[in-house]
Amino acid sequence: MSTSSLKLAIVGFRHGHIGGQVSAAKELDNLELVATCEEDAEARAALEAQNLGAPVYDSYEKLLAEVDCDIIGTGDYFAIRGQRAITAL
């Protein structure tokens, strides 16, 4: 990664479309996946098995407290996405 890369963290992996965000991020030279988060234990185990090369968090609040990132990708369930975005801001 170049020094001008944007740092991406993605939260919520229970919707299949989030894989598109991950794939797109990996194709861009100026974007680095620095962390992921899934609070559901079963979905988190599946995420960890993918070995995406970024830490997997079980708490969104912990991710925000510990990870320096520029972008939060939200794939969490619909009712919580808005609050996730507000909290990230």
pLDDT in tens, 25-66: 889 999 999 999 999 999 999 999 999 999 999 999 999 999
In a domain, 31, yes or no: yes
Residue type, 3: T
Q: Is a pLDDT exceeding 60 seen at residue 2?
A: no
Q: How many CA atoms lie less than 13 Å away from 68 in the CB half-sphere?
A: 2
**Does residue 27 sit within a domain?**
yes
Q: What is the structure's pLDDT at 1?
A: 47
Does the pLDDT of residue 15 top 60, yes or no? yes
Please tell me the pTM assigned to this model: 0.89
Residue 18's domain is classified under what CATH number? Answer: 3.40.50.720
Mean pLDDT on 12-32 = 89
Terminal-residue alpha carbon distance, the chain: 25
Query: Contact at 8 Å (CB) between 76 and 13?
Result: no
Reading the block at residue 9, the tokens are: 């963290």
Cβ contact 13:75 at 8 Å:
yes
